[in-house]
Amino acid sequence: MSGGPGNGATDDVVLRVHDLRVTFASAAGAVEAVRGVDLEVRRGRVVALVGESGSGKSVTSLSALGLLPSTARVTGTVELADGDVVHDVVTTPEQQLVDLRGRVVSMVFQEPMTALNPTMTLGDQVAEAVLNHERVPRAVAHERAVELLRAVGVPDPGRRARQYPHELSGGQRQRVVIAVALACEPDLIVADEPTTALDVTVQAGILDLLRDLAAQRGTALLLVTHNMGVVADLADEVAVMREGRVVEHGPVARVLGAPEHEYTRRLLAAVPPVPPASAVVREPGAGAAPDPGPPTGGGETVLDLRGVSLDYRVQGRHVRAVERLDLTVHAGEVLGLVGESGSGKSTAGRACLGLLAPTEGEVLLLGTSVARARGRARRRLLADVGVVFQDPGASLDPRRTVGESIAEPLVVHGRDGRRLTGPERRARVRELLDAVRLPSGAERRYPHEFSGGQRQRIGLARALALRPRLLVADEPTSALDVSVQAEVLDLLRDLHAELGFGCLFISHDLGVVHELTDRVAVLRSGRLVESGPTARVFSAPREVYTAELLASVPAPDPAQQRARREARHRLAAGAVG
């Protein structure tokens, strides 16, 4: 074999990366994505590459499969052990790489929907992976596919094999993607953010599966993630990457427990502390306890949802998204609304903004029904509500300068019943930019010139332009890196303390909710499961679902995470028995 086969591998190293450098040619000049990375992955071990966006972790992982785009210039060696032969992926020609991919190394992607072909049955897709490398009859490949689906924990694999991707949930789809990766029993699986697109309870199941695969089959796993909890749950070793370099590398307990590098310490400090998991549920099955209201006397009620049901129309049929929801937000308090995807939490948020009329019940904003208000009264009502969305890229109009975007509420509503003059508006915009800690001059630039965290702060400035009484924040930090998230949350907390608005904080991240909110409401399939003061709900959940949700959040400490995992397994067993 040509293309740089080395001597027979005597150790059990599956992947050895030495002095890897990757440079991308772009219109703005060369961009160095990876600047000298050394890495080793051994049989049956899980090595995690962690870092924030742009740290080069994905590029490093893709280089193990030789899947970098053609604009990349790669130097250094990426040695892959294929039995007794060692291939250097960097110099191996494409035809040989095709043979290696799937058989020696395979890949699990982040987004299970786009990683599967929507027009092929799941069985065919797994069988195809088998047939890529083995000359076996189609029927045999299909039998293997069903076996593989069973091995990755897909229930009723015979039937599922004949179904299409859209018929499965996200978690089940990710299991199929893993089955495809496993088809030819590779020595190494590269998993790039395999659970990022999934809910925490589903993520926990996938992490269990990956852990079992590594332990039982001896498959090595190169795990790319930004989530320290996932690292603690799964990895044996961890390499922390920043700006294309590995800044710290070692056993997971050491790196996460006693980080040596300043950056690792900062990264860990930015992770919001996860509420403790408890395997016990107080008063199990007592039903959603009535909300005791704000702990201290509290201010007036700014938002009041009374028995609100919300429907979505899908192809003419009404689908219930939220069922008789009661919520109140008082002035000066932060209410967390938590739930997994599809729980109806964002739908409820839209109803609070008057974007969706309730089928039943009433949404009262400052004592007035938003759905019934019309014309000028409605506009005046909405002037008291600010909103921040999840995606900082999409929530600002790309064609307007930052100043125009922030000033929009001022243009729409004026202030104190009159229009603002140009200079007044500009002064207010500068004031707001200052409040969200952005330099003056930012108002003349366009959104794409700012980073995600900065854009989210611009969105916050716009939301606060009219000094609203209520702020609806829909997953405002979910698209951000942890260190950036910490900055935005700090800012939100400071502004909240200063301005005293009531805040409905919608999030799936229990750590963030734990850190930020006074009270919390847990939503599942459109129904309120439990609500109360955050400290009480998180330390002593009354409902099994809340306890499960809490136990599913991985903690960034391996020992603690082991305990959480056991708590979760006990809860699951209890729920069955």
Partner 1 sequence: MTAGLRRFAANRLAVAGAVVLGLLVLFAVLGPLAYPTDQVTTDLASANLPPGADGHLLGTDALGYDNLGRLMVAGRVSLLVGVLAGALATIVGTVWGAVAGYVGGVVDAVMMRVVDAGIAIPAIFLLLVLSTIVRPTVGMMIVVLGLVSWLVPARLIRAEALSVRTRDYVVAARAMGATHRRTVFAHVIPNTVGTVVVNATFQVADAILLVAYISFLGMGVQPPTTDWGAMLNDGISFIYQGAWWLILPPGLAIVLVVCALNFVGDGLRDVVDVRGRAA
Select from 101, 103, 457, 462 the one that contacts partner 1 (CB under 8 A).
462
DSSP H/E element including 265: helix 262-270
Select from 93, 155, 367, 398 the one that contacts partner 1 (CB under 8 A).
398
Q: Is residue 409 within the footprint of partner 1 (CB under 8 A)? A: yes
Residue with token string 């938003």: 370
| Interhelix angle 452-463/482-499, nearest 10 degrees | 20
d(CA 519, CA 533): 4
Q: Is residue 575 within the footprint of partner 1 (CB under 8 A)? A: no
| Pairing label, strands 334-338, 317-330 | unpaired
Q: Is residue 396 within the footprint of partner 1 (CB under 8 A)? A: yes
Select from 190, 223, 274, 385 the one that contacts partner 1 (CB under 8 A).
385
Nearer to partner 1, 89 or 321 (CB): 321
Select from 125, 328, 395, 517 the one that contacts partner 1 (CB under 8 A).
395
Q: Which residues contact 93 (CB under 8 A, 6 or more apart)?
A: 2, 3
Q: 502, 470, 505, 500: which is closest to 489 by C-alpha?
A: 505
Nearer to partner 1, 89 or 382 (CB): 382
Are 500 and 469 in contact by the 8 Å Cβ rule? The answer is no
Question: Least distance in Å: CB of 383 to partner 1?
Answer: 6
- Residue 260 identity (one-letter amino acid): E
Are 146 and 157 in contact by the 8 Å Cβ rule? The answer is yes
Nearer to partner 1, 395 or 546 (CB): 395
Residue 295 structure tokens: 């702990």
- DSSP assignment of 95-129 equals HHHHHHBTTTEEEE-S-HHHHS-TTS-HHHHHHHH
Select from 389, 450, 501, 545 the one that contacts partner 1 (CB under 8 A).
389
Are 543 and 281 in contact by the 8 Å Cβ rule? The answer is yes
Q: Dihedral sign, CA of 9, 11, 17, 18? A: negative
User: Scanning residues 414 to 453, which ones bind partner 1 (CB under 8 A)?
Assistant: 445-446, 448-449
Stretch of residues binding partner 1 (CB under 8 A), selected from 181-189, 274-282, 347-355, 494-502:
347-355
Q: Is residue 374 within the footprint of partner 1 (CB under 8 A)? A: no
DSSP code at position 467: -
Q: Is residue 397 within the footprint of partner 1 (CB under 8 A)? A: yes
Question: Least distance in Å: CB of 448 to partner 1?
Answer: 5
Nearer to partner 1, 29 or 285 (CB): 29
d(CA 243, CA 232): 22
Stretch of residues binding partner 1 (CB under 8 A), selected from 125-133, 336-344, 349-357, 521-529:
349-357
Question: Least distance in Å: CB of 24 to partner 1?
Answer: 17
Residues engaged in binding partner 1 (CB under 8 A): 350, 353-355, 378-383, 385-387, 389-391, 394-400, 405, 408-409, 412-413, 445-446, 448-449, 459, 462, 466, 472
